[in-house]
């Protein structure tokens, strides 16, 4: 019965595992030689025919194969540095493969790299040979794709076509400079435009490095491990200044189009767009992680000025994409996670897929970014707009994501001069102030009949107009750091009726003068300052960015706050004094009465905060007394450097009163000592057990 | 009439239960595997598979997140290191083949010579890796200058020497271990499982070290590169392959039983990995920097690896390979040329080589699924995990029916069908991208459906392929007295130049369309379409061409049955003779 079934199966199926009922008889002496019908015979422990010939043929073939394999593998990684194609209008620059050392490149003629092996330094052992019979007329897409070295590109006069994607992910690129004779393109300070400036083509990915250099931040900010601009979390005060100088860009009023990938992965934090803008192309402002402020303006007299100084020349500035905008390409602004207010004007006709994708995200227990999208049109009008898939950002909501809310009929927002929040007791907190009227005076007293009693953490935008601040009688809870971004501030005047604070010659103190809260950045009553004898603490960022040159500190001072003298570039001398009487006058006329003066931080000081004196680069002598119990990280880190002649400069030595063993016990913060940032990562010499002068 | 006689479901369940109970410890007559082993295979293979899959995320390659986000090495660095190591690699590979295909049992003189060689390599490697040669940084020799010119990608002449030293050190160390452990462990644990016993524990330690050693903080990239290379050389010296699944393929000399084991306990064991692969993205989603978070390598991967790795060790001993073979003491000695000419005589390996060669047309192509999930649909977290697993699950139901299909169709039919479905499916994806590329949802949905269907039609040919590879090993054993799995690598040497050449073509296309180390170009519609469509079209041509070699495939069931009978006879006779001569033997299996 079973046999029948098997036979039936054999008939029915002929597959891989169909039953087979074949038995073969293999004699004991044939186990190594028995040949199965239809298969090759076994060949075990037997000599091969034509063995030598086979070996030779095999060896030759395998050597050829191995050689070719290696050749092709090498070919994969080795490419000519410059690749050009001839086309109808001249030569197209199709691919640039950096040797790793070409930081500047001029695209004018077909170029060849000549290596000089007699020079061992790879940065200097090559020259670029130009063939002037072959003018470059176009630059192909992805020509510089993923280059991480080239910093400046010069575009020659003959270039007629540039694909906007040519410089995609060119991470080190700081500037694209166009020959003035070029009829098709131009640049505004290293940003690429078409000739009539109606289209911005490329904002170099590392443009911020150029601006850092320009505005003196060269050694202040460096790219973090992800290649983004690194901002120390503690330096939020400093960020305000940095944002204005380096991370703000104003598009000229002529611009009608932002090209593909133009700002892609750029570092901008604030972008001002003109009302004439019609098109924001695909991925134009993609992954601009820092971009928090999107402004539009009605008109401008700034001309070709594109940095923050142009903002003063703009009128009708409001928060929104510009009225008149018609086209928003796919992924145009996706992953702009810092964006917190987005309004789409009524003129928009097309929004591409994922245009605002991932601009809202979960941050701990709350959401950051665009929690709502504001739309100028009504719901009915907006239904006529052509939209791509998933153009509305979504946020994490349990298992699956939810779309953000769309708010229709939304008005554009103008910056208000004062923003207050009402407190439980009915008084007000000044949470934001924008000097829209360019006033040189700010009064923090009352509004709408209500007293202003406090100021928010960082209420002021970068401000170069305010010279005097009046603090009313009801204000309390000040820390001093609030005034950091008032760059033109000369005077702080406190109402005498204020029970909490006072001013001495325009410098802000607590009423009992035990804490010096803020020394104005543009203080104009001399460059020498004597801190009163009853002061025991200098507040966070109190002297940061100031022009103070000589400072006298009382022996009773216990604490210098975090960032207190950050970037006080002119600070040369720090003295401490031990007066027999109360010292209240703060100008240099008082010096004769100061009693014993030491070239030292005051004996008795216990804490120097993080970044306390960082970047006070004119300081050349320092004595840390034995009373110090806490020394913050980076407190003097960037106070030494190698000068242009290659010599060590700045704080080359630090004198410490404590012995080395005792000093270690106070566990000074990381990188507290001055560093030269040279190849060997040297730090300043520390003289332990030093006597004070 | 009882339900059993009627063949009703309860009756079938009852008889199945009785069958399992009866043959729990001893196999049914004519079979080789008791049901108890099925359970061990399920847990052992499942754990082993999870461990292997986790290790796919840890390695010295550009796409490893550890390198992408922490070590931050240019992708070209990995290619250059490959080239530095390439020439010597050919030599080590040749020596390795002799050791592997003799299962570590070499003539005394050869063994001594190899040990001497390997110890010398260790010494030379140590000197090259850990000593400095300052003249290399100042020499104006053109080759040294050329190497020093590569500093921007993390390599200079000094570090190149260290990298080469690491390679030599690695090969000395690995070679000596290979002989030592094979000889020691294969008689006891068989040819496939032995490495688990000497490698698993050190591998677990290395997995921990890789995440916790903060070598990615080394500021100098040149130092970071050679130190990372050294770390990962140490990491990779201890293997953790899919040994138990390989072993399960030879669980029985009976072809149907082999397939049954592969279809049920082995296939079902992969569900363990499915569960893990759902959990990991969810856990990762909760990390601060998601896939870029170092805790992924400090906690998530080590835990996900160590637990299954230890379970693998527990269950590895509970089942065994059953290849009819003479005792190790009586096995055929494979000399170098026996091995080389032995595999060249295997017609089916030649056909597979031709197929592989044509298949190389798709080399260098990006994973279309990754592009769809991440760049078209922008999936993350749970939805990502669900879609991924839904598609990979598509192949499971047909796979469970593999015994039926494999009984019904022969290998040639299955493989030709497979190539044609690939060509058709990829053709549909290309059309979807070309004609509905702008409508993301529609295009993506079509692609997902096609991929689902392609996955469904993939698993049976895959199973057939696995089964056929085992049979080719049996056939090789019939031809040469050993399976010569290592010597079969010689085909790769011949096809290497062609595959490398073909492998150049697609990356050049991708580069032209903007694909480089930054994948964000895939967000750009026009580039995404080109990056997907053009390589796929080349791949379709490959699939159509691949049907041709299979027309010549004639290794059928009957031939396999006869081969197995010959192997069994060899095992029987050699063991009998050994016993007659009073010799102690080990490692043989008659079947």
Better-predicted residue by pLDDT, B7 or B466 = B466
Angle at A678 between CA A674 and CA A682, to 5 degrees: 45
> Residue B175 sits in which domain range?
31-322
Lowest mean pLDDT among A209-213, A661-665, B424-428: A209-213
What CA–CA distance (Å, rounded) separates B322 from B190? 9
Record: contact B494-A261, CB cut-off 8 A = no
Q: Are residues B14 and B135 in the same domain?
A: no
Last residue of a domain, one of B306, B322, B338: B322
**Inter-CA distances, A349 with A327, A381, B523, Å:** 6, 10, 22
Lowest mean pLDDT among A172-181, A232-241, A529-538: A232-241
Average pLDDT on A369-373 reads 89
Average pLDDT on B512-533 reads 81
Query: What is the pLDDT, as a whole number, of residue B51?
Result: 96
- Residue A396: pLDDT over 60: yes
User: Which CATH number covers residue B123?
Assistant: 1.20.1250
Q: What are φ and ψ of residue B279, in 5° steps?
A: -70, -40
Q: Are residues B43 and B3 in the same domain?
A: no
What CA–CA distance (Å, rounded) separates B24 from B35? 5
Query: What is the pLDDT, as a whole number, of residue A213?
Result: 80
Q: How far is B202 from chain A (nearest CA, A)?
A: 31
| Nearest alpha-carbon partner for A234 in A633, A539, A537, A522 | A633
CB contact at 8 A, A222 and A246: no
CB contact at 8 A, A173 and A153: yes
Average pLDDT on A49-71 reads 91
B562 touches chain A (CB under 8 A): yes
Query: What is the pLDDT, as a whole number, of residue A233?
Result: 38
- Residue A145: pLDDT over 70: yes
List of residues 6+ apart from A481 with CB closer than 8 A: A237, A458, A518, A539, A540, A541, A563
Record: contact B496-A69, CB cut-off 8 A = yes
Query: What is the pLDDT, as a whole number, of residue B385?
Result: 75
Q: Are residues B41 and B21 in the same domain?
A: no
Query: What is the pLDDT, as a whole number, of residue A400?
Result: 67
Better-predicted residue by pLDDT, B528 or B200 = B200
Better-predicted residue by pLDDT, B133 or A178 = A178
Q: Are residues B535 and B568 in the same domain?
A: yes
Q: How many residues does chain B have?
A: 591
Alpha carbons within 13 A on the beta-carbon side of B562: 18
Alpha carbons within 13 A on the beta-carbon side of A357: 25
- Residue A506: pLDDT over 70: yes
CB contact at 8 A, A309 and A358: no
Q: Using CA coordinates, name the residue in chain A closest to B260.
A: A17
Q: What are φ and ψ of residue B589, in 5° steps?
A: -150, 125
Share of chain B above pLDDT 70, in %: 96
B157 touches chain A (CB under 8 A): no
The angle that helices B336-344 and B459-480 make with each other, rounded to 10 degrees, is: 130
CB contact at 8 A, B536 and B409: no
Q: Are residues B352 and B280 in the same domain?
A: no
Q: Are residues B440 and B465 in the same domain?
A: yes
Query: What is the pLDDT, as a whole number, of residue B499?
Result: 80
Query: What is the pLDDT, as a whole number, of residue A399?
Result: 63
CB atoms within 10 A of CB B286: 9
List of residues 6+ apart from B385 with CB closer than 8 A: B277, B278, B280, B281, B282
What CA–CA distance (Å, rounded) separates B517 from B513? 13
Lowest mean pLDDT among A90-94, A581-585, B154-158, B348-352: A581-585
Average pLDDT on A484-499 reads 90
A385-413 burial, b at 16+ Cβ within 10 Å, e below that, comes to bebbbbbbbbbbeeeebeebeeeeebebe
Pick the residue of A17, A74, A361 with the most B CBs within 10 A to test the interface with B by mutation.
A17
- Residue A39: pLDDT over 50: yes
CB atoms within 10 A of CB A478: 23
What CA–CA distance (Å, rounded) separates A455 from B402? 74
Last residue of a domain, one of B322, B337, B372: B322
B86 touches chain A (CB under 8 A): yes
Q: Are residues B308 and B440 in the same domain?
A: no
| Nearest alpha-carbon partner for A490 in A475, A509, A505, A479 | A505
Interface of A with B in 442-481 (CB under 8 A): none
Record: contact A68-B570, CB cut-off 8 A = no
| Helix, strand, or coil (residue A502) | strand
Report strand pairing: A640-642 vs A468-471. Answer: unpaired
Q: Are residues B335 and B470 in the same domain?
A: yes
What CA–CA distance (Å, rounded) separates A508 from A516? 6
Confidence of residue A238 (pLDDT cuts 50, 70, 90): low
B578 touches chain A (CB under 8 A): no
CB contact at 8 A, B408 and B557: no
Q: What is the pLDDT of residues B38-83, one digit of tens each?
A: 999 999 999 999 999 999 999 998 778 898 788 888 777 888 898 8
Query: What is the pLDDT, as a whole number, of residue A228?
Result: 46
Lowest mean pLDDT among A390-399, B250-259, B426-435: A390-399
Q: What DSSP string describes B89-106?
A: HHHHHHHHHHHHHTTT--
What CA–CA distance (Å, rounded) separates B73 from B84? 17
| Nearest alpha-carbon partner for A312 in A465, A206, A161 | A465
Query: What is the pLDDT, as a whole number, of residue B3?
Result: 42
| Helix, strand, or coil (residue A302) | coil
- Residue A513: pLDDT over 90: yes
- Residue B372: pLDDT over 90: no
Record: contact B496-A68, CB cut-off 8 A = yes
Average pLDDT on B132-144 reads 82
Q: Are residues B87 and B165 in the same domain?
A: yes
Record: contact A400-B382, CB cut-off 8 A = yes
Better-predicted residue by pLDDT, A218 or B23 = B23
Q: Are residues B11 and B59 in the same domain?
A: no
Last residue of a domain, one of B322, B352, B381: B322
The angle that helices B336-344 and A51-77 make with each other, rounded to 10 degrees, is: 80
Average pLDDT on A644-650 reads 84
B496 touches chain A (CB under 8 A): yes
Q: Using CA coordinates, name the residue in chain B closest to A401.
A: B383
Query: What is the pLDDT, as a whole number, of residue A9?
Result: 57
Q: What is the pLDDT of residues B232-243, one digit of tens each?
A: 999 999 999 999
Query: What is the pLDDT, as a whole number, of residue B371?
Result: 75
Record: contact B497-A71, CB cut-off 8 A = yes
Query: What is the pLDDT, as a whole number, of residue A224?
Result: 45
Q: Are residues B554 and B407 in the same domain?
A: yes
Q: What's the domain count of chain B? A: 3
Q: Using CA coordinates, name the residue in chain B closest to A79.
A: B508
Record: contact A23-B565, CB cut-off 8 A = yes
- Residue B524: pLDDT over 70: yes
Residue with tokens 């079947």, as numbered in its chain:
B591
Q: Supply the pTM of this predicted model.
A: 0.73
Q: What is the dihedral of CA A604, A609, A615, A620, to 10 degrees?
A: 20
Residue A314 belongs to what H/E stretch?
strand A314-315
Average pLDDT on A328-340 reads 92
Bridge partner list, A470 = A443, A493
Confidence of residue B282 (pLDDT cuts 50, 70, 90): confident
Q: Are residues B441 and B365 in the same domain?
A: yes
Pick the residue of A9, A12, A13, A16 with the most B CBs within 10 A to test the interface with B by mutation.
A16
Share of chain B above pLDDT 90, in %: 50
User: Which CATH number covers residue B482?
Assistant: 1.20.1250.20
Q: What is the pLDDT of residues B441-456, one digit of tens each?
A: 888 888 889 989 999 9
Q: How far is B446 from chain A (nearest CA, A)?
A: 15
CB atoms within 10 A of CB B138: 11
């Amino acid at each position: 019965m079973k046999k029948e079934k098997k036979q039936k199966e054999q008939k029915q199926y002929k597959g891989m595992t169909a039953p087979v009922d074949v038995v073969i008889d293999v004699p004991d002496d044939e186990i190594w030689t028995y040949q199965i019908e239809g298969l090759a015979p076994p060949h075990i422990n037997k000599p091969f025919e034509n063995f030598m010939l086979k070996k030779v043929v095999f060896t030759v073939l395998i050597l050829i194969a191995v050689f070719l394999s290696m050749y092709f593998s090498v070919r994969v990684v080795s490419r000519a540095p410059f690749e050009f194609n001839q086309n109808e209008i001249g030569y197209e620059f199709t691919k640039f493969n950096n040797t790793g050392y070409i930081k500047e490149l001029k695209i004018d003629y077909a170029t060849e790299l000549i290596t000089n092996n007699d020079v061992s330094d790879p940065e200097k052992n090559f020259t670029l040979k130009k063939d002037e019979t072959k003018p470059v007329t176009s630059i192909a897409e992805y020509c510089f794709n993923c280059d991480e070295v080239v910093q400046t590109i010069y575009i020659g006069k003959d270039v007629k076509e540039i694909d906007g994607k040519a410089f995609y992910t060119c991470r080190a690129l700081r500037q694209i400079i166009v020959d003035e004779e070029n009829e098709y393109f131009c640049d505004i300070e290293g940003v690429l435009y078409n000739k009539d400036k109606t289209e911005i083509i490329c904002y170099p990915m590392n443009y911020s490095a150029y601006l850092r250099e320009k505005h003196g931040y060269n050694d202040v900010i460096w790219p973090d491990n992800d290649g983004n601009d690194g901002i120390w979390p503690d330096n939020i005060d400093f960020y305000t200044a940095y944002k204005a100088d380096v991370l703000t860009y104003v598009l000229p009023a002529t611009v009608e189009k932002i090209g593909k990938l133009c700002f892609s992965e750029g570092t901008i934090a604030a972008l001002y767009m003109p009302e004439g803008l019609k098109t924001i192309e695909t991925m134009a402002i993609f992954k601009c992680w820092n971009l928090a402020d999107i402004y539009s303006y009605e008109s401008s007299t700034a001309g070709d000025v594109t940095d923050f100084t142009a903002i003063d020349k703009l009128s009708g500035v409001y928060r929104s994409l510009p009225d008149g905008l018609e086209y928003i390409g796919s992924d145009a602004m996706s992953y702009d996670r810092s964006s917190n207010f987005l309004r789409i004007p009524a003129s928009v006709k097309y929004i591409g897929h994922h245009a605002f994708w991932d601009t809202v995200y979960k941050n701990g227990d709350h959401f950051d970014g665009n929690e709502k999208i504001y739309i100028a049109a009504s719901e009915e009008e907006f239904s006529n707009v052509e939209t791509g898939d998933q153009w509305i950002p979504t946020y994490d909501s349990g298992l699956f994501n939810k779309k953000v809310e769309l708010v229709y009929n939304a008005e554009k927002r103008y910056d208000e001069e004062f923003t207050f929040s009402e407190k439980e007791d009915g008084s007000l907190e000044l949470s934001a102030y924008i000097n829209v009227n360019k006033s040189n005076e700010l009064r923090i007293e009352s509004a709408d009949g209500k007293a202003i009693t406090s100021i928010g953490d960082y209420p002021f935008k970068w401000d170069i107009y305010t010279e005097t601040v009046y603090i009313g009688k009801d204000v309390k809870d000040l820390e001093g750091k609030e005034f950091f971004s008032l760059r033109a501030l000369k005077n702080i005047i406190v109402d005498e009726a204020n029970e909490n604070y006072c001013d001495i010659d325009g410098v802000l103190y607590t009423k009992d003068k035990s804490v010096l809260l803020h020394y104005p950045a543009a203080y104009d009553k001399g460059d020498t300052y004597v801190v009163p004898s009853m002061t025991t603490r200098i507040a966070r960022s109190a002297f940061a960015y100031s022009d103070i040159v000589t400072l006298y500190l009382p022996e009773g001072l216990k604490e210098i706050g975090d960032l207190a003298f950050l970037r006080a570039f002119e600070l040369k001398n720090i003295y401490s004094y031990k007066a027999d009487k109360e010292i209240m006058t703060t100008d240099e006329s008082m010096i004769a009465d100061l009693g014993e003066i030491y070239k030292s931080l005051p004996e008795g000081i216990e804490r120097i905060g993080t970044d306390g004196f960082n970047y006070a680069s004119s300081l050349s002598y320092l004595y840390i007394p034995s009373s110090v119990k806490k020394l913050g990280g980076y407190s003097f880190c960037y106070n030494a450097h190698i000068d242009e002649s290659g010599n060590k400069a700045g704080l080359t030595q630090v004198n410490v009163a404590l012995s080395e063993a005792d000093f270690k016990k106070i566990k000074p913060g990381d990188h507290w000592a001055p560093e030269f940032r040279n190849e060997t990562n040297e730090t300043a010499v520390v003289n332990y057990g030093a006597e004070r002068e | 009439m009882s339900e059993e006689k009627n063949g009703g479901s309860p009756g079938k369940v009852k008889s199945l239960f009785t069958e399992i109970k009866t043959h729990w410890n001893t196999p049914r007559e004519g079979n080789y595997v008791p049901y108890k082993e099925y359970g061990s295979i399920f847990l052992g293979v499942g754990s082993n598979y999870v461990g292997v899959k986790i290790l796919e995320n840890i390695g010295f390659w550009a796409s490893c997140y550890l390198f992408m986000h922490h070590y931050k090495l240019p992708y070209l660095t990995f290619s250059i290191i490959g080239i530095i190591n390439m020439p010597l690699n050919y030599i080590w590979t040749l020596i390795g083949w002799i050791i592997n295909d003799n299962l570590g049992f070499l003539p005394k003189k050869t063994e001594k010579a190899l040990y001497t060689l390997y110890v010398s390599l260790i010494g030379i490697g140590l000197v090259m890796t850990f000593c400095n040669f300052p003249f290399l940084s100042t020499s104006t020799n053109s080759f040294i200058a050329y190497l020093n010119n590569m500093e921007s990608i993390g390599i200079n002449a000094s570090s190149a020497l260290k990298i080469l030293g690491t390679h030599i050190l690695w090969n000395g160390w690995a070679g000596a271990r290979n002989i030592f452990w094979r000889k020691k462990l294969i008689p006891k644990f068989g040819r496939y499982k032995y490495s688990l016993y000497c490698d698993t524990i050190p591998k677990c330690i290395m997995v921990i070290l890789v995440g916790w050693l903060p070598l990615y903080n080394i500021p100098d990239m040149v130092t970071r590169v050679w130190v990372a290379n050294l770390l990962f050389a140490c990491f990779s010296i201890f293997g953790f392959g899919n040994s138990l699944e390989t072993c399960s393929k030879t669980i029985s000399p009976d072809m149907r039983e082999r397939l049954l084991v592969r279809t049920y306990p082995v296939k079902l064991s992969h569900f363990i990995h499915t569960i893990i692969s759902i959990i990991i993205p969810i856990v990762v989603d909760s990390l601060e920097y998601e896939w870029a978070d170092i805790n992924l390598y400090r906690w998530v991967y080590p835990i996900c690896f160590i637990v299954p790795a230890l379970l693998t060790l527990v269950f590895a001993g509970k089942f065994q390979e059953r290849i009819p073979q003479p005792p190790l003491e009586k096995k055929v000695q494979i000399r170098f040329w026996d091995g080389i000419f032995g595999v060249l005589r295997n017609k089916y390996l030649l056909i597979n080589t031709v197929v592989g060669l044509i298949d190389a047309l798709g080399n260098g192509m990006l994973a279309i699924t990754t592009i769809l999930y991440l760049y078209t649909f922008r999936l993350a977290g749970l939805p990502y995990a669900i879609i991924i697993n839904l598609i990979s699950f598509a192949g499971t139901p047909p796979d469970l029916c593999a015994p039926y299909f494999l009984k019904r169709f022969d290998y040639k039919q299955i493989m030709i069908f497979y190539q044609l479905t690939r060509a058709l499916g990829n053709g549909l994806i290309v059309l979807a991208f070309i004609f509905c590329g702008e409508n993301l949802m529609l295009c993506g949905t079509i692609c997902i459906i096609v991929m689902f269907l392609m996955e469904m039609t993939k698993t049976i040919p895959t199973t057939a392929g696995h089964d056929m590879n085992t049979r080719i090993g049996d056939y090789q054993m019939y031809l040469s007295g050993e399976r010569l799995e290592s010597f079969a690598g010689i085909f790769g040497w011949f096809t290497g130049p062609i595959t490398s050449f073909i492998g150049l073509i697609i990356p050049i296309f991708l580069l032209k369309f903007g694909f480089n180390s930054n994948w964000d170009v895939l967000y750009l519609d026009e580039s995404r379409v080109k990056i997907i469509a053009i390589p796929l079209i080349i791949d379709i041509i490959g699939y159509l061409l691949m049907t041709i070699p299979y027309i010549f495939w004639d290794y059928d069931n009957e031939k396999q049955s006869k081969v197995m009978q010959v192997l069994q006879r060899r095992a029987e006779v050699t063991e009998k003779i050994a016993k007659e001569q009073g010799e102690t033997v080990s490692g043989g299996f008659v079947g």
